[in-house]
């Protein structure tokens, strides 16, 4: 199909794509423990139905975890096969009072569609489907749609699923629609992602709580000890102070600080942390954050010394680092910096590999020219992201010859994982067109 035919087809399909996206957003499929996984099942079933309607052969599969959906259509003779990945599970919504509208009732405001998963990553699913619908019966490539059901919960069973279904999913090109674009009106191809080590650190100082007046001054409390331990994790400039982590510069582009300040929502007067360029800090250096603390809530805290306290730490790893080695380095640091003889125990929650993609060759050219056309002549920027998609490293190992194109529907204002997540509908239309053009270009490149 020609570019103009595809444009026309997508213009026709877009209202239906939007309606189906809204249907998916209404399903609160959260794979985290403690949530009702019946919704994840419903979500998988809804995705399966959408894929069947595209004429794919569809299976719902699982391997001890949440259901994934695989849809396949054989390639025309001599044409390449493209695997299209997205995930149908979403993050929990957190404090509902911070949402301006119901997270599971999609609504449009100022050209954006609000709702949990409206961007991350149900719009990724619908971008794949939009491209298939645009081609109708004349798809120029073979297709494997792989829609995962537990990405936000660490993809625990994904490696097994990929291994068990290896033959069905083997493909020449892999499109992972779970990243972000550079700005409104500026597409991006993601070429590096950070890894992750999430762990818990518990500090024990006392066998039981004691009166803070009778004992305070001589006896240390666990929250103060934990605060001091946490304070050793960064140097004064805010760089991660754990020895033995990979850290480098050399990001291909810089981020304008003023823009980044607004996107991040930094409060008045608050400084950035770390040194080097913003993009180095986000993409090629480690980051460490405290995600939560278990300790008495302030409203109920008695005048007593807290015997033990626990924090959840999240370490992001630079491309080139190794999660096992990094976790050992972090454990060693926490043990060595225990204040006042504190008993420190560290347990791993989950980890994931970083990755780097060599974005050269005909399939990357095919993607770049599709992006350029969909954004009316604007070239895509090669970016890293600070977030993690750990199984990309698994895809790289399993399918070393496949080109991996990391695309996405997000933009810097999408607030994925936060309250008021949203999708920019104008950009989404471009993402859908870009994906259709990409399939067409990949087919042409595969014939060369
Ligand atoms: N879509 C994100 C990855 C991402 C983050 C893309 C930032 C673009 C910008 C993905 O769904 C995600 O959140 N991944 C988790 C991985 C974790 C659960 C192992 C993350 O980065 O926290
Ligand atoms: Mn995602």
Mutate to test the pocket of ligand 1, among 65, 389, 431 (most ligand atoms within 8 A of CB): 389
Number of H helices, E strands in the chain: 13, 18
Sheet containing 195-204, strands listed edge to edge, beginning at the edge strand earlier in sequence: 287-294, 308-317, 195-204, 343-352
* Chain segment 211-267, per-residue pLDDT in tens: 999 999 999 999 999 999 999 999 999 999 999 999 998 877 898 899 999 989 999
The answer to whether position 281 is within a domain reads no
Out of 355, 388, 391, 423, mutate this one to test ligand 1's pocket (max ligand atoms within 8 Å of CB): namely 388
Q: How far apart are CA 418 and CA 271, in angstroms?
A: 21
In a domain, 273, yes or no: no
Point out the ligand 1 atom lying closest to the alpha carbon of residue 120: 1
Domain boundary among 336, 352, 368: 352
Among residues 396, 312, 393, the alpha carbon closest in space to that of 347 is found at: 312
Q: What are the backbone dihedrals phi and psi of residue 40, each rounded to the nearest 5 degrees, phi first?
A: -65, -40
Q: Are 98 and 43 within one domain?
A: yes
Q: Does the active-site annotation cover 89?
A: yes
DSSP per-residue string spanning 219-255: B--HHHHHHHHHHTTB-TTS-B--TT-------SS--
**Residue 253 located in a structural domain:** no
Does the pLDDT value for residue 309 go beyond 80? Answer: yes
Query: Phi and psi of 48, rounded to 5°?
Result: -60, -40
Q: Which of 151, 321, 351, 435 is catalytic?
A: 151
**Per-residue pLDDT, 260:** 92
pTM of the model: 0.93
- Ligand 1 atom nearest 350 alpha carbon: 19
**Do residue 25 and residue 36 come from a single domain?**
yes
Instruction: Kindly give the distance from the C-alpha atom of residue 326 to the centroid of ligand 2, in angstroms, as a whole number.
Output: 24
Tell me 387's DSSP state: S
Are 210 and 103 contained in the same domain?
A: no
| Coil, helix or strand at residue 365 | helix
Looking at the fold, whether 117 and 34 belong to one and the same domain comes out as: yes
CA of 448 to the centre of ligand 2 (A): 33
pLDDT given for residue 1 in this prediction: 92
Which ligand neighbours the alpha carbon of 314 most closely?
Answer: 1
266 belongs to a structural domain = no
State pLDDT tens for residues 2-51: 999 999 999 999 999 999 999 999 999 999 999 999 999 999 999 999 99
Ligand 1 atom with minimal separation from the 178 CA: 1
Closest residue CA from atom 14 of ligand 1: 388
Q: Quick one: 120 and 78 in the same domain? A: yes
Ligand 1 centroid, distance to 296 Cα (angstroms): 30
Residues 188 and 226 in one domain: no
If asked whether residues 150 and 203 sit together in one domain, one would say no
The minimum-distance atom of ligand 1 relative to the CA of 194 is 21
Let me know if residue 265 belongs to a domain.
Answer: no
Residue 440 three-state SS? helix
- Residues 218, 138, single domain; the answer is no
Token pair recorded at residue 227: 């605060």
- Could you tell me the distance, in angstroms and rounded to a whole number, from the CA of residue 400 to the centre of ligand 2? 23
Q: Is the peptide bond before 121 cis (omega within 30 degrees of 0)?
A: yes
Q: What is the pLDDT of residues 278-299, one digit of tens each?
A: 999 999 999 999 999 999 999 9
Say yes or no: 436 and 371 in one domain: yes
* Helical axes 425-447 vs 3-25, angle rounded to 10°: 130
pLDDT in tens, 142-168: 999 999 999 999 999 999 999 999 999
Pairing mode of beta strands 422-424, 287-294: unpaired
Domain carrying residue 47: 3-193+355-447
Domains in the chain, number: 2
Instruction: State the pLDDT at residue 251.
Output: 79
Pocket of ligand 1 (CB under 6 A): 120, 151-152, 154, 178-180, 196, 352, 385, 387-390, 410
Percent of the chain residues topping a pLDDT of 90? 97
Range list of β-strands (E), 257-329: 287-294, 304-305, 308-317
Do 242 and 115 reside in the same domain of the chain?
no
CATH number assigned to the domain comprising residue 329: 3.30.70.360
Are 420 and 347 in a shared domain?
A: no
Residues 55 and 93 in one domain: yes
pLDDT of residue 253: 87
Please write the tens of the pLDDT for every residue from 386-422: 999 999 999 999 999 999 999 999 999 999 999 999 9
Helix 425-447 to helix 122-135 angle (10° resolution) is: 50
Q: How far is the CA of 151 from the centre of ligand 2 (A)?
A: 7
In a domain, 171, yes or no: yes
262 domain residue, yes or no: no
Residue 122 tokens read as 């149900």
Q: Among residues 328, 352, 376, which one ends one of the domains?
A: 352
Given 295, 319, 352, the domain boundary residue is: 352
Mean pLDDT of all residues in the chain?
97
pLDDT at 312: 98
CATH of the domain at 13: 3.40.630.10
The model's pLDDT over 342-392, given as tens digits with 9 standing for 90+, comes to 999 999 999 999 999 999 999 999 999 999 999 999 999 999 999 999 999
Residues with C-beta atoms within 5 A of ion ligand 2: 120-121, 178
Q: Residue 276: inside a domain, yes or no?
A: no
Buried b / exposed e across 405-440, counting CB within 10 Å, b at 16+?
Answer: bbbbbbbbebbbeebbbbbbbebbbbbbbbbbbbbb
Closest CA to 201 of 388, 341, 335: 335
Contact between residue 171 and residue 439 where contact means Cβ atoms under 8 Å apart: no
- Of these residues, 13, 22, 89, 120, which one is catalytic? 89
> What percent of the chain lies above the pLDDT cut of 70?
100
What DSSP designation does 337 have? T
Q: Is the pLDDT of residue 96 over 90?
A: yes
Q: How far apart are CA 103 and CA 149, in angstroms?
A: 19
């Amino acid at each position: 199909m020609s570019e103009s035919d595809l444009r026309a087809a997508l213009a026709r399909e877009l209202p239906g794509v939007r309606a189906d996206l809204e249907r998916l957003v209404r399903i609160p499929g959260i794979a985290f423990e403690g949530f009702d996984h019946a919704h994840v099942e419903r979500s998988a079933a809804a995705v399966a139905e959408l894929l069947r309607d595209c004429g794919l052969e569809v299976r719902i599969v699982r391997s001890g975890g949440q259901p994934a959906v695989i849809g396949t259509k054989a390639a025309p003779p001599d044409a390449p096969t493209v695997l299209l990945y997205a995930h149908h599970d979403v993050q929990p919504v957190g404090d509902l009072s911070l949402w301006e509208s119901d997270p599971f009732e999609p609504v449009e405001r100022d050209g954006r569609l609000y709702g949990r998963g409206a961007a991350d990553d149900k719009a990724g699913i619908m971008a794949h489907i939009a491209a298939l619908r645009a081609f109708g019966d004349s798809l120029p490539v073979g297709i494997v749609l792989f829609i995962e059901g537990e990405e936000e919960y660490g993809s625990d069973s994904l490696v097994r699923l990929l291994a068990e279904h290896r033959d069905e999913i083997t493909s020449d090109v892999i499109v992972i629609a779970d990243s972000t674009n550079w700005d409104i009106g500026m597409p991006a191809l993601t070429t590096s992602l950070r890894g992750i080590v999430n762990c818990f650190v518990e500090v024990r100082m006392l066998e039981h709580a004691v009166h803070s007046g009778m004992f305070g001054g001589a006896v240390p409390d666990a929250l103060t000890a934990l605060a001091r331990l946490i304070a050793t994790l960064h140097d004064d400039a805010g760089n991660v102070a754990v020895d033995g982590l990979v850290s480098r510069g050399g990001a291909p582009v810089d981020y304008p600080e003023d823009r980044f300040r607004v996107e991040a929502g930094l409060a008045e007067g608050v400084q950035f942390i770390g040194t080097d360029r913003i993009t180095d800090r986000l993409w090629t250096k480690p980051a460490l954050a405290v995600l939560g603390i278990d300790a008495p809530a302030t409203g109920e805290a008695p005048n007593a010394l807290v015997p033990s306290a626990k924090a959840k730490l999240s370490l992001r790893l630079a491309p080139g680092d190794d999660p096992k080695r990094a976790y050992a380095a972090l454990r060693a640091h926490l043990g060595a910096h225990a204040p006042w003889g504190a008993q420190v125990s560290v347990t791993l929650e989950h980890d994931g590999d970083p990755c780097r993609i060599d974005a050269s060759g005909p399939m990357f050219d095919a993607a770049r020219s599709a992006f350029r056309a969909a954004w009316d002549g604007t070239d895509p920027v090669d970016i890293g992201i600070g977030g993690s998609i750990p199984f990309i490293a698994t895809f790289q190992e399993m399918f070393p010859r496949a080109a991996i194109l990391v695309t996405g529907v997000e933009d810097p204002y999408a607030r994925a994982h936060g309250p008021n997540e949203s999708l920019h509908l104008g950009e989404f239309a471009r993402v859908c067109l870009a994906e259709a053009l990409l399939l067409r270009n990949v087919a042409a490149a595969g014939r060369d």
